[in-house]
Amino acid sequence: MPVLCQLVDPQAYHVSEWNIAADPWDRAYWLGLFEQFPRWIEPLLRADAAQAGGDFETRWPAFEAEYQAELAKVRAAAEANGHLMTIDLTRLRNRLLARYNWTDPYRQVKTRENALAAELYPGVVRSVDATPAGRERWDLLFRGLFAGNMFDLGSPKTIEMYHRGELAFQTILGQVPPRPWFIDDADALMERLGPPGRYRQALIFVDNAGTDIVLGVVPLVREMARAGTRVVLAANDAAALNDITLAELRPLLGRLADRDAVLAGLCAEDRVVAIGSGGDTPLIDLGRVSEECNAQAARSDLVVLEGMGRGVESNWDQSFKCDAWRVALLKDESVVRHHNARLFDAVCRFDAA
């Protein structure tokens, strides 16, 4: 798999410079977080008969024992050599889930949340279209990105909120912090996004299913495409937590287009398309992207890293040959501590080429 061609120094690429083993608090936090993972997915797998299978009662104890034993080895190695990256933990988790044929524990959650968000989608884009074009509309769309990005089942705080029913999109939209945000380059972005749009093509590495993609990303993409920018949505090829996959995104775009003549026209004109990034984790390894993703990156003059995993936990220190936009809501205690931020701070970082 190729290295993303828009990186300034592809030979020196690292997914992240954040060594979580360097700080004992971070090391304990992340290892503890991953130790809790089986507790989160067991009820999901039991509820999904197709994934659970008839031998679930045998497979589950074996998986849990092996998973915790492997994490114990990782903990011992990190304490001994002082080095550990979050992507190492996600890859370990993926490998063990695949061994026990549980490649998508969150499948039913994503299906349900996509359907619920799709019901709200027509009202959201009507509200967008009723807002005066220009900065006022972009401001609404940016805040929608942050509100949608709260649907994240990889962070303890948002997991708790999800189970308490506290992630309603319109409620969260009203709670998005006022500007200036923690990192706020929104004015520079609004100027470039148009209309008329300054960019020929934007490559957006998308994040979560549900409200994130449906009510946050797609309304923004719709506006960017109307302003003249072709938008390529790059989704994971394989499942990771509640992240949207390409296999889910393409039919979802079709269902949204059935409810929205503007989006339908943009998709029909090839102004909005979906591709696979080659990814299989909540972060994005730009050192291993799909051939199609790399080809689309070569045609793009804007790369967007959407979500905390893709643009903050990973790729925070990377420089690009084209303009780059990192946009995320900070929902994890260790991430905000690392960046001297506060929980639920908003990041809208723009770096010109």
List the CATH number of the domain containing 163. 3.40.50.10880
- Specify whether 89 is located in the same domain as 113: no
- Specify whether 81 is located in the same domain as 115: no
* Cis geometry, peptide bond prior to residue 180 (ω within 30 degrees of 0): yes
Q: Which domain holds residue 84?
A: 18-99
Residue 22 lies in a domain: yes
Residue 4 lies in a domain: no
- Specify whether 276 is located in the same domain as 176: yes
Count: domains in the chain: 2
Dihedral angle of Cα 244, 245, 248, 253, to the nearest 10 degrees? 70
- Specify whether 145 is located in the same domain as 282: yes
Residue 10 lies in a domain: no
| d(C-alpha 227, C-alpha 197), whole Å | 5
- Specify whether 26 is located in the same domain as 135: no
Residue 11 lies in a domain: no
- Specify whether 194 is located in the same domain as 223: yes
Contacts 24+ apart (CB under 8 A), 77-85: 78/21, 78/27, 78/31, 79/21, 79/27, 81/21, 82/19, 82/21, 82/22, 83/19, 83/21, 83/22, 84/19, 84/20, 84/21, 84/27, 84/30, 85/15, 85/16, 85/18, 85/19, 85/20
- In a structure prediction context, what are the per-residue pLDDT tens digits for the chain, which is 353 residues long? 999 999 999 999 999 999 999 999 999 999 999 999 999 999 999 999 888 888 999 999 999 999 999 999 999 999 999 999 999 999 999 999 999 999 999 999 999 999 999 999 999 999 999 999 999 999 999 999 999 999 999 999 999 999 999 999 999 999 999 999 999 999 999 999 988 889 999 999 999 999 999 999 999 999 999 999 999 999 999 999 999 999 999 999 999 999 999 999 999 999 999 999 999 999 999 999 999 999 999 999 999 999 999 999 999 999 999 999 999 999 999 999 999 999 999 999 999 99
- Specify whether 93 is located in the same domain as 223: no
Last residue of a domain, one of 99, 120, 139: 99
pTM over 0.95: yes
How many CA atoms does the CB half-sphere of 212 hold within 13 Å? 24
Residue 293 lies in a domain: yes
Which letter does DSSP use for residue 155 in this model? S
- Specify whether 195 is located in the same domain as 111: yes
Last residue of a domain, one of 83, 99, 115: 99
Residue 53 lies in a domain: yes
Check if the beta carbon of residue 281 is closer than 8 Å to that of residue 87. Answer: yes
Residue 6 lies in a domain: no
Q: What pLDDT, on a 0 to 100 scale, did the predictor assign at position 38? A: 97
Residue 47 lies in a domain: yes
- Specify whether 324 is located in the same domain as 346: yes
Last residue of a domain, one of 50, 78, 99: 99
Q: Residue 229's closest CA among 302, 283, 292?
A: 302
- Specify whether 93 is located in the same domain as 111: no
| d(C-alpha 212, C-alpha 208), whole Å | 5
- Specify whether 143 is located in the same domain as 48: no
- Specify whether 157 is located in the same domain as 272: yes
